[in-house]
Amino acid sequence: MATITQIQTHAQNYVKGNSNLLSAEEIRIAQTINNLVTTYHPWRWSIVAGTNVTTASGTQEYNLDAADQNRVHKLNEAWLVSAGTALFPLIIYDWIAVPTIGTTGQPYGISLITEARVHLYPTPGAVYTLSHRFHTSGTVFTANTESYDAPARFDETIKEGVIWKFLEFLDDGRAPDKQKSFYDLLNHQKRIDMRKQHEVRS
């Protein structure tokens, strides 16, 4: 995984700029590209384990653990645990929120309604432990020594993205071509990721 500074230096060299070129924008450009890459597709490498949440009877909506809030891009899987036994996986509703309902029972559905809150359906009629895994929305950078979230095989893609943003800042006519190249490379990585998701393990 490349660091912000390594990619920045590459972009400066590409546009034949000095070492201070756009240094004031270094972290902002890196953040933009990191966000675009991380949230472009539910990558296998972006899955992290969430902290368990305890439900209450009669309550449908729950805050995620503070450590997970504003980090969730998409739920990957979720399930309930009752008396130490994992129950069947919950159905994840990605594009619509499960409805608000007063009826209680054992939930079978879940939806992410914000990056910090989830709805269960139906409303839990007992105490459960909600376990989940999610695709992270990516690191919030604070220093140029940090690394991009994507694995090393994405370095060329990230370089194209940062060069695109450099050229855009400089009103350089090559920016649209670099933008296209960046998204072409992202789509190539997406195809690889989707193929690996469907590989049969022996």
Angle between helices 175-197 and 155-169 (to 10 degrees): 160
Q: What contacts 40, CB < 8 A, 6 or more positions away?
A: 186, 190
Q: What are phi and psi of 134, to 5 degrees?
A: -140, 160
Q: 3-state DSSP call for residue 150?
A: coil
Q: Which two tokens stand for residue 27?
A: 């972290």
Q: Are strands 47-49 and 129-136 parallel, antiparallel or unpaired?
A: antiparallel
Q: Residue 150: what pLDDT?
A: 96
Q: Which two tokens stand for residue 147?
A: 């690394």
State how far the alpha carbon of 48 is from the alpha carbons of 73, 146, 150, in Å.
11, 19, 13
Q: 3-state DSSP call for residue 103?
A: coil
Q: Residue 19: what pLDDT?
A: 84
Closest CA to 114 of 161, 59, 73, 54: 73
pTM of the model: 0.85
Instruction: Report the alpha-carbon distance of residue 192 to residue 41 in Å, rounded.
Output: 12
Cis peptide before 107 (omega within 30 of 0): no
Q: Which two tokens stand for residue 91?
A: 């159905």
Instruction: Report the alpha-carbon distance of residue 177 to residue 155 in Å, rounded.
Output: 18
Q: Which residues of the chain have pLDDT under 50?
A: 200-202
